Amino acid sequence: MEANTRSTGRLPAAFLTPGSSSFMDFLAEHQPELLPGNRQLPPTQGVIEAPHGTTIVAVTFPGGVVLAGDRRATMGNVIAQRDIEKVFPADEYSAVGIAGTAGLAVEMVKLFQLELEHFEKVEGAQLSLEGKANRLSTMIRSNLGMAMQGLAVVPLFAGYDLDREKGRIFSYDVTGGRSEEHNFAATGSGSIFARGAMKKLFRDDLTEEQAATLVVQALYDAADDDSATGGPDVARRIYPIITVITEDGFRRLTEQEASELSRAVLQKRLEEPDGPKAALL
Amino acid sequence: MSTPFYVSPQQAMADRAEYARKGIARGRSLVVLQYADGIVFVGENPSRALHKFSEIYDRIGFAAAGKYNEYENLRIGGVRYADLRGYTYDRDDVTARGLANVYAQTLGTIFSSAAEKPYEVELVVAEVGETPEGDQIYRLPHDGSIVDEHGSVAVGGNAEQISSFLDQRHRDGMSLAEALKLAVQALSRDTNGSEREIPAERLEVAVLDRTRPQKRKFKRIVGRQLDRLLAADGASTEAESSAEDGSEEQ
């Protein structure tokens, strides 16, 4: 039977065959050409030029986790896009921020969101946070071929663990290697600078609002030293995307909230360009 | 070698239809009603884990009466169809009409194929619109026919009686508590006309609520919220509905 959803006929046999609850497994069997990992790249000379997303940061606080990203995409030394979105809800209790080749990363997020939703609908229950993190790992691993050609995708995954009742952060390398990060994490070209800022500012007892301010500070420092990371763009009213995940689920800060936080940070930086000072001892 | 008896196509189809109908009639009936903010699914189901209602896609819900393994199979097929279609095109391109057509074709092919046993299921596919006028409810009997319903629909063994009961009493713009109360009343009526009590813990209730901020509108109503809605059938909703009636008269 023609395995084709475009026809209006009956459901193809594959649709009614009992199988796994994974959408990716279903695609692999039914329409493998739709899986990004199965794409064959022609041999190329040098690195392929494509827009790259840059810095993503995450911080935990008692009761949840904040995941945020700047808005710049670069292609070589050109700013490809000023208002790109790089932080997405993965499901009700988790979010994913992406650095690396923008096109592939956005596609990966779309498939990841669908994977979690599909499982939830078929099983009638959510995957554990650990399970979600592992699933993302598999997806990155399947992209290794393209990563070797310069089209790497390196996400940061954060979520609220309903079993352990706390926010957790997972970082990845291009081979799909996964590691849980404690307190804070960053990925992308500006991550080294962001991580330095977070290391100095992080405390165990941050409130949700303080954690959100902390990530804005970190992104500001990343943009300060990394040309591929964009700072808050007051003239165009483009501010970082800041998301908070708590027991109540995923929430993206409104334009208004993000602008207020960014403006407050900018205002202070007019007085102290290097930001808040940590104690020496 | 003996020659098989000749069975006329009419007789063969009638036999298959009777077989399917009997299977469906063994299960309990369920109802799907439109209310002011969406569509509510109500059924009697002692199981907490094996659902009769479920989410297919953002605005689309699924309800089924009959044989569990058969409708579960169709449900998963529908989820796969919707997710694949949304992934290939766009989320907006997944519609209840499209899904109902696929189910109708699937059920129809199985029903008329002599090699397969007919499915003993009756399905409802519903999609909540931006406004009550945009709501769509499709009923899909075992033979693959497709019926475009409005207001209220019942499927299962006792469906005809329940339907006529609902047709007389259902009106547009009911509150959720009113619609739920009406649905439970309809389900409590036995074939011989006597009433019995269905306790809240034996009810399975879900809604497609157009006012939900999330893009996924399907929500199960359980526990305290269900108790509250069932209890609300007294004074508050009476007052509400009479106020509404009053404003209509003016």
| pLDDT tens figures, A64-120 | 999 999 999 999 999 999 999 999 999 999 999 999 999 999 999 999 999 999 999
**pLDDT above 90 coverage of chain A, percent:** 79
Question: What's the CA gap between B205 and B189, in Å, rounded?
Answer: 18
Question: Is A117 close to B83, i.e. CB distance below 8 A?
Answer: yes
Instruction: Tell me if chain B has a CB within 8 Å of the CB of A1.
Output: no
Render pLDDT for B180-207 as a digit per residue (tens, 0 to 9): 999 999 999 877 777 888 999 999 999 9
Chain B residues near residue A5 by CB distance under 8 angstroms: 81, 84-85, 88
Instruction: Tell me if chain A has a CB within 8 Å of the CB of B50.
Output: no
Q: What is the mean pLDDT of chain A?
A: 92
Render pLDDT for B79-135 as a digit per residue (tens, 0 to 9): 999 999 999 999 999 999 999 999 999 999 999 888 889 999 999 999 999 999 999
Domain limits of chain B? 22-244
Instruction: Tell me if chain B has a CB within 8 Å of the CB of A200.
Output: no
Question: Is B108 close to A10, i.e. CB distance below 8 A?
Answer: yes
Question: What's the CA gap between A86 and A107, in Å, rounded?
Answer: 12
Render pLDDT for A6-63 as a digit per residue (tens, 0 to 9): 555 789 988 998 888 999 999 998 989 888 888 777 777 777 788 888 899 999 999 9
Residue with tokens 């009636």: B245
Closest CA to A101 of A189, A38, A17, A181: A189
Render pLDDT for B19-32 as a digit per residue (tens, 0 to 9): 999 999 888 899 99
DSSP B157: T
Count of A-B CB contacts under 8 Å: 66
Residue of A nearest to B73 (CA): A16
* b/e sequence B139-166, b meaning 16+ C-beta within 10 Å: bbbbbbebeebebbbbbbbbbebbbebb
Active site residues of A: 54
Instruction: Give the number of other Cβ atoms within 10 Å of residue B91's Cβ.
Output: 15
Q: Does the pLDDT at position A144 exceed 50?
A: yes
Residue with tokens 């899986």: A35
3-state secondary structure of B21: helix
Q: What is the 3-state secondary structure (H, E, C) of chain A?
A: CCCCCCCCCCCCHHHHCCCCCCHHHHHHHHCHHHCHHHCCCCCCCCCCCCCEECCEEEEEECCEEEEEECCCEEECCEEEECCCCCEEEEECCEEEEEEEEHHHHHHHHHHHHHHHHHHHHHHCCCCCHHHHHHHHHHHHHCCHHHHHCCCCEEEEEEEEECCCCEEEEEEECCCCCEEEECCEEEECCCHHHHHHHHHHHCCCCCCHHHHHHHHHHHHHHHHHHCCCCCCCECCCCECCEEEEEECCEEEECCHHHHHHHHHHHHHHHHHCCCCCCCCCC
Closest CA to A13 of A25, A23, A3: A3
Question: What's the CA gap between A174 and B27, in Å, rounded?
Answer: 52
Instruction: Tell me if chain B has a CB within 8 Å of the CB of A122.
Output: yes
Residue of B nearest to A116 (CA): B83
Classify burial at A54, counting beta carbons within 10 Å of its beta carbon; exposed 0-12, middle 13-18, buried 19 or more: buried
Find the CB nearest A121 among B79, B88, B98: B79
Residue of B nearest to A21 (CA): B76
Question: Is A118 close to B102, i.e. CB distance below 8 A?
Answer: no
Chain A residues near residue B102 by CB distance under 8 angstroms: 8-11
Instruction: Tell me if chain A has a CB within 8 Å of the CB of B231.
Output: no
Q: Which residues contact A18 (CB under 8 A, 6 or more apart)?
A: B73, B76
Question: Is A5 close to B84, i.e. CB distance below 8 A?
Answer: yes
Instruction: Indicate if ipTM > 0.90.
Output: no
**What mean pLDDT do residues B36-47 have?**
95
Q: What is the 3-state secondary structure (H, E, C) of A176-193?
A: CCEEEECCEEEECCCHHH
pLDDT on residue B82: 97
Residue of A nearest to B71 (CA): A16
Find the CB nearest B102 among A10, A34, A118: A10
Q: Which of B59, B83, B143, B219 to mutate to test the interface with A (most CBs of A within 10 A)?
A: B83
Find the CB nearest B77 among A11, A27, A34: A11
Instruction: Tell me if chain A has a CB within 8 Å of the CB of B56.
Output: yes
Find the CB nearest A114 among B77, B81, B83: B83
Q: Which residues contact A57 (CB under 8 A, 6 or more apart)?
A: A67, A68, A69, A97, A156, A184, A185, A186, A191, A194, A198, A215, A218, A219, A222
- Fold designation for B22-244: Glutamine Phosphoribosylpyrophosphate, subunit 1, domain 1 (3.60.20)
Tokens describing residue A11: 């459901």
